[in-house]
Structure 1
């Protein structure tokens, strides 16, 4: 897949590297001349020093052949304008809009006339703040956040000392707003569970749950069998 990224700060650069590692073709458009020069030796794809809010620059990057365009600078207005131009030049391109100000994110999502210009809106700052606050108030989870839905995907490790080890899923009595969506055994084999699935003696459980029941889920899945404490020698 051919992807154009506008802005190569920390977010844009990391996205470009990840895409290249997955085998995608990436072109970066970077306004800062020194940063563009630096990037040319750090990525495999083309680096264009220019302004992605300029039609000529987008055409130089071959926007009409791109499958995706990601505007990832720290400037909301520039990102929005670039997505609008990209869609006008290539109606089929999938646009990703970075919004640094969460207030702007809500405005852009609510204005119906703007929605047609971007397919995905992301606010790294908002996600980071949510992630930090959740780990402060409810620590100890290996989590993926869904801030808008008030839910998370959380991973739990089980072993022979886990009380749920070897039990059937239907016997766990999880709260209503929690669902086991995947189970991995000790060898890493994936199981899409049903109520009749027997949990492995050792492995991982992946749970999708609303924030309000996470503490209850954590207590249930991390509970150890009695007598697990090792006697001091």
Structure 2
């Protein structure tokens, strides 16, 4: 997979190194000249000194051939604009948007017209705050946010168009090395599921799965209900 990353700060650098470690091709765009030069010595991919909010810079980074684009600077406005430009230049590119202000994250998740530009939205600050608050409120638990033992915790959205909507967990035929650990309806009510639990018509769920079966799990939860037969 070919990924273009905007921002060579701590988050961008770590993401680039992890992707390269997994065998993916990475290009990084960084506005700061010294940081760009430093990064070029530490990653195998191309490092471009430039502004990813400029379409010419994105084209120089081969955004039209990219499978994914991640805007990971600490500036929300720049990240938002860069994702929109990337989608305009390559409608098929998967965009990951970093938002530092959690309030902005809520807006972009809820406004339908904006969702077409952002496939994945994350706020590292919000994740850190939640992790710290839970650890303080309930001490004594060892928590792993991103386990590296060959498994991942993944979130999937459920919509009325989802094939899984309304189905019982036992009828999904999930791969053996995967498990639904939490289900939330559209109001945010949490259910710890059993085999008889029915998925809501709208909401999301959390799945724990080994890396080897993630593609099969993804296919199940992203499958859509068949449309009406042509007359």
**TM-score normalised to structure 1 length:** 0.63
- Larger displacement relative to structure 2 (7-16 or 131-140): 131-140
Match of 1:42 in 2: 42
Q: Structure 1 residue 108: deviation in Å? A: 1.4
Gap runs ≥5 in structure 2: 146-152, 154-175, 184-189, 193-231
Q: Which runs of 5+ in 1 are unaligned?
A: 146-152, 154-190, 194-205, 215-233
The 1-side partners of 2:54 and 2:8 are apart by 17
Q: Name the residue aligned to 1:70.
A: 70
How far residue 7 of structure 1 moved from its aligned partner, in angstroms, is: 0.3
- Give the TM-score of the pair, scaled to structure 2: 0.63
Q: Over alpha carbons, which structure has the higher Rg? A: 1
Measured in 1, the distance between the counterparts of 2:142 and 2:22 equals: 24
Deviations 1:118-138 (A, max 9, x none): 100000000000001111111
Mapped to 1, the partners of 2:182 and 2:98 lie a distance apart of: 27
Q: CA RMSD in A?
A: 2.4
Q: What is the CA–CA distance in structure 1 between the aligned matches of 2:62 and 2:132, rounded to whole Å?
A: 39
Question: Match for residue 132 of structure 1?
Answer: 132
Distance 2:138 2:48 in 1: 44
Aligned length: 158
Q: Structure 1 residues 25, 192: CA separation in 2 closer, same or farther (over 3 Å shift)?
A: closer
Aligned to 1:4, the other structure's residue is in SS state strand
- Deviation beyond 6 Å, 4+ runs, structure 1: none
**Could you tell me how far apart the structure 1 residues matched to 2:180 and 2:84 are?**
38
